[in-house]
Structure 1
Amino acid sequence: MSNNAISTGPELPDNPAESTVDDSRLLANRDLSWLRFLSRVRLQSSDTRHPLLDRVRFAGIATAILDEFFMKRIALMLERLEEGRVTASLDGLSIQEVLERSTELIKQEQVELDRIWFEELVPSLKTHGVVVLEYGELPPTDRLRVDQWFEREVEPVLTPLAVDEGHPFPFISNLSTSLGVLLRVPGERTKQFARIKLPDGLPRMVPVPHSGPVGITQDPNRIRFIPLWQLVEANLGALFPEMEILDSGLFRLTRGAGLETGEDDDDEPDLMSTVETELARRRFAGPVRLEMEPESSPELQSLLLDELGLPKDAVTVRTSPFEPAAYHQLADLPRADLQRKKWIPTAPLRLRGNSDIFSTIRDGDLFVHHPYESFHDSVERFVNDAAHDDKVVAIKQTLYRTTSDSPFIESLIHAAEAGKQVACLGELRARFDERNNVGLPPRLATERG
């Protein structure tokens, strides 16, 4: 191990083969291993064996993994430290040690993500006709075009919120990206703070074609993009007329996800109510991370930290895009030459042209290889055919993650209405799908009558 490496657990014993199975030195820490997984994903964004837009997507996935780690694991570690828990986990590391090592690993990963974005991805995109620019790098005529687009499409949906004696500091929701602004009335000394949230419905990268309307990618082979927040920042004067703009900066807040409360809660007599309560609390969970630009002023940073009740070490300084959506927007460009060829799953050979899936299974076990073979033509068909088969008397199924429009739900409802016995086991705590899963039992019960 190099001197700069951060260990994911205690040092291995000299002779691991001679150690007992309960030797803590043989165990890797859960949280630090998670960050090693992040590192492997981040490396994909720098691997030139992948098509360029796939590499951009990997950078977005790595950013999303970091978001989730802060929401779930960093938040839980901070909560346990605040409660005074110091007990080491099975790997021998205390919570404080894991937090410190996690912080160092995250800093290393963020530095690498920033470097890959500016030194590898952005230059490579440019060579293929996709140019990511700063607002100030646009020619004057194009800045006029994007300013006019801002006036028509962006300004009407922005809601600046000022803080003063009559207006308290606004609630900042989880993973929301905002501009913080310091301003004052000309001639007065008192400064005011205002927050402008970037609405979710707007593109994080604004397409600026060489000709034609702004906001539309007419030619994906020759297109420019500027960050949305820079366009908003350049037009602050329109949002705060007759005010003096003193300072502004981009920031993004991460709150704890809640529901990461431990296995003991699985013994709750009413787990459904417990999850519903925690979902209601999630929106107001405590803040754990504040992302800011390196150019942000100490005054603006200090104001945000004070209002949010965060320590200085909660600030993550980064230069690459804050939001996964920015990367995915670029990765979704219709450029087949820069993307891996999409695989279209094929129907399993034994099911092609066969109208009776059950006779096929009776003839011999059916092995299906996903995602190469079609899930729709195998598993979905199996459940749907069972729901409509008069000879089937019962369907018992487990659904881990699902959606309200899942074909399985419709099949199960039809089966129940047809008089079949239907039992469905759902995972209420499938991370970040809890809201979908909590709504599933009532719907199934209602549809069954």
Structure 2
Amino acid sequence: MVNKTLKKKIESPKLQKKGRLPVKTAVKKKRSTKAPPTFSKPGKPVIATPDTFINRDLSWLGFARRVLAMAEDRNLPLLERVKFAGILGMLHDEFAMKRIGGLKRRIRKQKKPHGELSPEDELRLCREELHDQARRISKLVSDQLRPALAESGIPILDYKELGKKQISYLKKYFRESVEPVLTPLAVDISHPFPLISTLGLNIAVTVAGLKRKADRFLRIKVPTNRPRWVPLPDNSGYVPLEQVISFNLNYLFPKAAGLKVYLFRLTRVADNDPWEQTIPDDPEAEIIPGYLIGMVTNDLTSRKFAGVVRL
């Protein structure tokens, strides 16, 4: 305690002024003439680039490619490979309905992307990937899956390969079970083009009439309430329903000559958000009984008349 008190008295400025203690000479520091360093504000990091994020649509198709790889895997059981081939078709249908329409809408609105792929480039890449996967799955089905199914006792046959007894059986099946539910619709000046439902399989028929110079166009919808694969007697195989209809059109048009048949299927847009179109300003309206049912019903009805994105 004594040492601390003595130290405080020695360092007291009053004692130094009276001359009792020597005044400490302070060394003056020269001021620097250099300007203080300036620090620039850090800029925003550039992260919105195509290399930074995984594109949503291409990632979707990347998942579909992995499903395709499962269908191509020879180590899996045969029916598992067939199942994966069917799943791939469902993924392509869903992608066309939900994503292709959205990309085309972005192109029409001319939205400028922020460092991402432009809608035009994204649509081009998606189409290239879809075409490549469709080519690979078609080759897989024709070269591997159908021959393997035939070896396993589940042959899928073409109508042209059938014998007389099998053709006679299918003609009877057509007259009794299929023909009553078919409704051919003609397209001409007095009959506008009919509404084509999405993902439905259709048969386009052109008929060369005797008194007409131009061919007549008709559309037949393949019924969904009949088996898509028609079984042959004695479990000898299966034939696609559309082939059974196509090779028996002479019963529908007995006097027609020069029948030409084409199969087609179209896909409509299904990416509209029902919440954006039908939600009211009052938030309490959501709990009104029947509101959600009406919203879903309106959305499903509008899908029947939505734009076509794939043929």
When normalised by structure 1's length, the TM-score is 0.54
1:22 partnered with 2:36? no
Correspondent of 1:88 among 85, 107, 113: 113
1:153 partnered with 2:183? no
Deviations 1:391-445 (A, max 9, x none): xxxxxxxxxxxxxxxxxxxxxxxxxxxxxxxxxxxxxxxxxxxxxxxxxxxxxxx
Q: Equivalent residues in 2 for 1:156-175 (5 A)?
A: 156-175=180-199
Correspondent of 1:104 among 119, 123, 128: 128
Check 1:126–1:118 CA distance in 2 against 1; reply closer, same or farther (3 A cut): same
Residue type at the aligned position of 1:142: Q
Question: In structure 1, how many angstroms separate the alpha carbons of the residues matched to 2:75 and 2:190?
Answer: 57
Q: Equivalent residues in 2 for 1:123-134 (5 A)?
A: 123-134=147-158
1:283 partnered with 2:304? yes
- Please state whether the residue corresponding to 2:226 is helix, strand or coil: coil
The offset of 1:188, in angstroms, is 3.1
For 2:105, the equivalent position in structure 1 comes to 79
Deviations 1:187-214 (A, max 9, x none): 432311000001111111111133xxxx
The offset of 1:166, in angstroms, is 1.8
Q: Is the 8 A contact 1:181 1:247 kept in 2?
A: yes
The offset of 1:259, in angstroms, is 2.0
Correspondent of 1:114 among 138, 141, 148: 138
The offset of 1:23, in angstroms, is 4.9
Residue type at the aligned position of 1:50: L
- Please state whether the residue corresponding to 1:71 is helix, strand or coil: helix
Question: In structure 1, how many angstroms separate the alpha carbons of the residues matched to 2:233 and 2:131?
Answer: 36
The offset of 1:165, in angstroms, is 2.1
Residue type at the aligned position of 2:102: L
Question: In structure 2, how many angstroms separate the alpha carbons of the residues matched to 1:63 and 1:126?
Answer: 22
Aligned residues: 257
Question: In structure 2, how many angstroms separate the alpha carbons of the residues matched to 1:266 and 1:237?
Answer: 49
For 2:246, the equivalent position in structure 1 comes to 233
Q: Is the 8 A contact 1:52 1:121 kept in 2?
A: yes
Residue type at the aligned position of 1:48: R
- Please state whether the residue corresponding to 2:237 is helix, strand or coil: strand
For 1:41, the equivalent position in structure 2 comes to 67
For 1:254, the equivalent position in structure 2 comes to 267
Correspondent of 2:81 among 55, 58, 65: 55
Question: In structure 2, how many angstroms separate the alpha carbons of the residues matched to 1:204 and 1:139?
Answer: 21
1:199 partnered with 2:223? yes
When normalised by structure 2's length, the TM-score is 0.77
Consecutive unaligned residues in structure 2, runs of 5 or more: 1-44, 287-291
Q: Is the 8 A contact 1:74 1:99 kept in 2?
A: yes
1:188 partnered with 2:209? no
Residue type at the aligned position of 2:231: P
The offset of 1:66, in angstroms, is 0.2
- Please state whether the residue corresponding to 2:62 is helix, strand or coil: helix
The offset of 1:251, in angstroms, is 0.4
- Please state whether the residue corresponding to 2:309 is helix, strand or coil: strand
Check 1:124–1:80 CA distance in 2 against 1; reply closer, same or farther (3 A cut): same
Consecutive unaligned residues in structure 1, runs of 5 or more: 1-19, 211-221, 291-449
Q: Is the 8 A contact 1:181 1:245 kept in 2?
A: no
Question: In structure 1, how many angstroms separate the alpha carbons of the residues matched to 2:88 and 2:114?
Answer: 26
Q: Is the 8 A contact 1:76 1:260 kept in 2?
A: no
Question: In structure 2, how many angstroms separate the alpha carbons of the residues matched to 1:232 and 1:159?
Answer: 12
Which range is displaced more, 21-30 or 71-80?
Answer: 21-30
Check 1:186–1:264 CA distance in 2 against 1; reply closer, same or farther (3 A cut): closer
Deviations 1:73-124 (A, max 9, x none): 0011112212332x2266x111111100000000100000101100110011
Greater Rg, structure 1 or structure 2?
Answer: 2
CA RMSD of aligned residues (A): 2.2
Check 1:187–1:265 CA distance in 2 against 1; reply closer, same or farther (3 A cut): closer
Q: Is the 8 A contact 2:99 2:271 kept in 1?
A: no
Check 1:264–1:166 CA distance in 2 against 1; reply closer, same or farther (3 A cut): closer
Q: Is the 8 A contact 2:70 2:84 kept in 1?
A: yes
The offset of 1:43, in angstroms, is 1.3
Q: Is the 8 A contact 1:31 1:73 kept in 2?
A: yes
Question: In structure 2, how many angstroms separate the alpha carbons of the residues matched to 1:264 and 1:179?
Answer: 37
Q: Equivalent residues in 2 for 1:47-446 (5 A)?
A: 47-85=73-111, 87-88=112-113, 92-210=116-234, 222-260=235-273, 269=281, 272=292, 276-290=297-311
Question: In structure 1, how many angstroms separate the alpha carbons of the residues matched to 2:93 and 2:75?
Answer: 27
The offset of 1:260, in angstroms, is 4.7
- Please state whether the residue corresponding to 1:133 is helix, strand or coil: coil
Question: In structure 2, how many angstroms separate the alpha carbons of the residues matched to 1:79 and 1:58?
Answer: 31
Question: In structure 1, how many angstroms separate the alpha carbons of the residues matched to 2:257 and 2:298?
Answer: 45
Q: Is the 8 A contact 2:48 2:114 kept in 1?
A: no
Question: In structure 2, how many angstroms separate the alpha carbons of the residues matched to 1:250 and 1:32?
Answer: 29
For 2:16, the equivalent position in structure 1 comes to none
The offset of 1:258, in angstroms, is 3.6
